[in-house]
C-alpha cells in the first residue's frame, strides 16, 4: 500500500496488535510490533471465541489451527444451573450468519497467541520485545510519524497503532490520562482436566456470583467465576486458590469437583475488571487506537477478543481503500464505535444481573431466565450481526 510506504508500527502484541500485523503484512506492508513483554508470555487461562471471532480468525488464515487446538461446543449449547446445581435453563448460541462456523469455541490463551505469532513470523513481521515507545512526533505536513523507542532506537512510520490494552500508554500519549473505570467486579479463573462427558458450556448463577465452566481442549477446561469486589481489594497471590475455593464455597453441582481440585496457588488467577470508556476520537493524526486500548469491555459477553480482531479487519480494509491515513483513522473510529459501545453496554447489563445480591431478586432473575434466556441471546446476536461494519470491510 503506497500510503503506508514508511511502514506501520503497532504498539502491543496482544490479540488486536497481532491480528492487524498479520493483515497488513499479508498485504505487503512493512510492520513492526513493539511489545513490552520481555518474552512472549500469555496468561495461563482460557478464552471463548464466539462465531464472529472465529470468522475473524478465518479471515487471517488461522482457523484450522484454532479448531485443532481449541474445543468447539456443538450447537453452541450453554446450560444454566443455580449455585446448588439445580438446572435453570439452556440456550444455544448462533452461527455467524451465512457460515457453518461453530457458534462458540474455547481455547487456551497461550495457544491462541502461539498460533497468531506463528502466522506473524511466517509473514516476517518484525517484533521488538522488551520495548515501549518513549516519544512520538507526528509533524503536520510531514509524511511520517517519528518515534523513539525506550531503548533509544529511532523509527519512522506512516501509521502508528496503539494496541496496548486497558492501560494503554499510547492512549495517554494522545489524550492524557484516561483512567480505566473499576467496575467493582473481580474474575477468578483456573484450568482443570476435562472429564470426557463435559462438552457444553455451563453457567452457574449464584447470589451475587456467577461461575462458568468451558472446555478449552480435548484435555482441559476452564473455570471463570465472578464476584462483586467493590473498592478494588488486594488478594494475596500465595493463597489465591484457597480464596477462590472459599468465595464459591456454596457452589455445588458441576462446579464442586473443580473447586475441590484447587490445591496450588498457581492454579488460580484473579483479575479486577476494568472498562475503558473513551469518547471519540480514538485517533489523532496518523496515530490511532484499537482493541482494549480504545474500548475495553467487561468480559460478560466474551466479545472483547472478537471486537479487537474485528477492529483490525475493518481498519486494514479501510487502509487498503482510503487515501489519507489520518482521515481513514477518523472514519474507522466512527465506523467501529457504535458496535463496541453496544457490546460494552450489553456486557455491563449482564454483569449487573449476575451481581445481584438479594436472594429474592436472584429467584426472580432465574425465573425470568427460564422464560427469556434464549430470546435474550437471539436478540443480542441479531443486533450484533446487524452492524454492517465488518461485512462492509
Ligand atoms: C477476566 C477476563 C476474561 C475475558 N474473557 C474473554 C473471553 O472469554 N473472550 C473474549 O473475546 N474476550 C475476553 N476478554 C477480553 C479480552 O481478553 C480482551 O478484549 C482482548 O485481550 C483485547 O486484546 P488487545 O490486543 O486489545 O489487548 P491485550 O490482549 O491486553 O494486549 C495488549 C498487549 O500490549 C502490550 N503492552 C501493554 N502496554 C504496552 C506498552 N506500553 N508498550 C508495548 N506493549 C505494551 C501487552 O503486554 C499486551 O501484549 C476477557 C477479559 C478479562 C479481563
Per the domain annotation, does 168 fall within a domain?
yes
Domain that holds residue 350: 2-70+106-179+276-354
Domain annotation covers residue 382: no
Q: Which atom of ligand 1 is nearest to the CA of 12?
A: 34
Ligand 1 pocket list (CB less than 6 A): 11-17, 34-37, 47-48, 53, 132, 163-165, 169, 187, 271, 273, 291-293, 299, 302-306, 308
In a domain, 267, yes or no: no
* Residue-level pLDDT at 113: 97
> Mean per-residue pLDDT for 295-300?
96
3-state secondary structure of 7: coil
Residue 225 lies in a domain: no
Indicate if the pLDDT at residue 376 is higher than 90: yes
pLDDT, the chain, mean: 95
> Given a cut of 80, is residue 368 above it in pLDDT?
yes
- Evaluate whether residue 247 is within a structural domain: no
Q: What is the pLDDT of residue 388?
A: 83
Residue showing cell 502466522: 119
Q: Is residue 370 part of a domain?
A: no
**Number of structural domains in the chain:** 1
Alpha-carbon span 294 to 288, nearest angstrom? 9
pTM for this predicted structure: 0.97
3-state secondary structure of 41: coil
Residue by residue, DSSP assigns 55-99 as HHHHHTT-HHHHHHHSEEPGGGEEEEEETTS-EEEEEEPPPPTT-
Question: By the 8 A CB rule, do 393 and 52 touch?
Answer: no
112 in any annotated domain: yes
> Which residue, by CA, sits nearest to atom 1 of ligand 1?
187
Nearest Cα neighbor of 168 from 57, 270, 282 is 282
Closest residue by Cα to atom 15, ligand 1, is 304
CATH number for the domain that contains residue 345: 3.50.50.60
pLDDT tens-digit series, residues 64-98: 999 999 999 989 999 999 999 999 999 999 999 99
159-216 pLDDT, tens digit per residue, is 999 999 999 999 999 999 899 999 999 999 999 999 999 999 999 999 999 999 999 9
What is d(CA 101, CA 122) in angstroms, rounded to the nearest whole number? Answer: 25
Quick one: which atom of ligand 1 is closest to the CA of 37? 47
Q: Is 207 contained in some domain?
A: no
Amino acid at each position: 500500500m503506497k500510503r503506508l510506504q514508511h511502514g506501520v508500527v503497532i504498539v502491543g502484541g496482544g490479540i488486536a496488535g497481532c491480528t492487524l500485523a498479520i493483515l497488513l503484512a499479508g498485504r505487503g506492508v512493512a510492520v513492526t510490533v513493539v511489545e513490552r513483554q520481555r518474552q512472549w508470555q500469555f496468561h495461563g487461562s482460557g478464552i471463548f471465541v464466539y462465531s464472529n471471532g472465529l470468522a475473524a480468525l478465518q479471515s487471517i488464515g488461522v482457523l484450522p489451527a484454532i479448531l485443532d487446538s481449541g474445543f468447539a461446543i456443538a450447537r453452541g449449547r450453554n446450560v444454566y444451573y443455580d449455585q446448588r446445581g439445580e438446572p435453570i435453563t439452556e440456550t444455544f448460541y448462533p452461527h455467524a450468519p451465512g457460515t457453518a462456523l461453530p457458534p462458540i469455541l474455547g481455547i487456551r490463551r497461550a495457544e491462541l497467541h502461539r498460533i497468531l505469532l506463528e502466522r506473524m513470523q511466517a509473514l516476517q513481521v518484525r517484533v521488538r520485545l522488551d520495548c515501549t515507545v518513549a516519544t512520538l512526533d507526528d509533524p503536520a505536513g510531514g509524511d511520517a510519524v517519528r518515534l523513539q523507542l525506550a531503548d533509544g532506537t529511532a523509527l519512522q512510520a506512516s501509521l502508528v497503532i496503539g494496541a496496548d490494552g486497558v492501560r494503554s500508554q499510547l492512549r495517554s500519549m494522545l489524550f492524557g490520562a484516561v483512567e480505566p473505570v473499576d467496575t467493582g467486579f473481580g474474575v477468578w479463573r483456573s484450568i482443570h482436566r476435562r472429564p470426557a462427558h463435559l462438552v457444553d458450556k455451563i453457567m452457574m448463577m449464584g447470589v451475587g456470583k456467577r461461575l462458568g465452566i468451558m472446555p478449552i481442549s480435548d484435555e482441559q477446561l476452564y473455570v471463570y467465576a465472578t464476584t462483586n469486589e467493590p473498592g478494588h481489594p488486594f488478594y494475596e497471590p500465595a493463597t489465591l486458590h484457597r480464596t477462590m475455593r472459599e468465595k464459591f464455597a456454596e457452589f455445588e453441582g458441576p462446579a464442586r469437583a473443580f473447586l475441590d481440585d484447587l490445591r496450588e496457588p498457581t492454579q488460580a488467577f484473579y483479575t479486577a475488571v476494568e472498562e475503558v470508556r473513551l469518547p471519540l476520537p480514538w485517533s489523532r493524526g496518523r496515530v490511532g487506537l484499537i482493541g482494549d486500548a480504545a474500548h475495553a469491555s467487561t468480559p460478560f459477553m466474551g466479545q472483547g477478543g472478537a471486537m479487537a480482531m474485528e477492529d483490525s479487519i475493518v481498519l486494514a480494509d479501510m487502509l487498503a481503500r482510503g487515501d489519507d491515513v489520518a482521515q481513514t483513522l477518523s472514519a474507522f473510529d466512527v465506523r467501529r464505535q457504535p458496535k463496541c459501545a453496544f457490546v460494552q453496554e450489553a456486557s455491563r447489563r449482564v454483569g449487573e444481573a449476575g451481581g445481584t445480591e438479594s436472594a429474592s431478586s436472584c429467584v426472580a432473575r432465574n425465573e425470568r431466565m427460564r422464560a427469556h434466556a434464549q430470546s435474550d441471546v437471539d436478540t443480542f446476536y441479531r443486533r450484533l450481526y446487524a452492524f454492517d461494519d465488518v461485512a462492509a470491510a
